[in-house]
Amino acid sequence: MDISDKNSGDAIDGKDTNSTELHDKKTTSEKPQRGIRFWTIIVTLCTVGLLGAFENTVVATSLSFITRDLDMGDNYVWVTNAFFLTRYD
């Protein structure tokens, strides 16, 4: 490697910089734009999660009656799983 090959970029403050390096620094410092589509997706996901939690309260409230009527004993954990697996047609 020749010394002239090392200094092929523009020297600023004793550092070797190229236009691509300056472009990379510019693009990494910019913040991404979040439009209405992004926030609509976030709000929808939060709403779905909240509704799922509300449905789980129905099962948690009636869990003692369900396990007693079905004589499930220690297998009460499967009640919640069965509810969420079978709730969609």
What is the largest distance, in Å, between two alpha-carbon atoms of the chain?
86
Q: What is the pLDDT of residues 20-29, one digit of tens each?
A: 565 556 556 7
The answer to whether residues 30 and 38 touch, using CB atoms and an 8 Å cutoff, is: no
The answer to whether residues 79 and 63 touch, using CB atoms and an 8 Å cutoff, is: yes
Q: What is the pLDDT of residues 2-22, one digit of tens each?
A: 555 555 555 555 555 555 565
d(CA 65, CA 54): 19
**Is pTM, for the whole model, over 0.95?**
no
- The pLDDT assigned to 7 comes to 52
Q: What is the pLDDT of residues 35-79, one digit of tens each?
A: 999 999 999 999 999 998 888 888 888 888 988 998 888 888 888
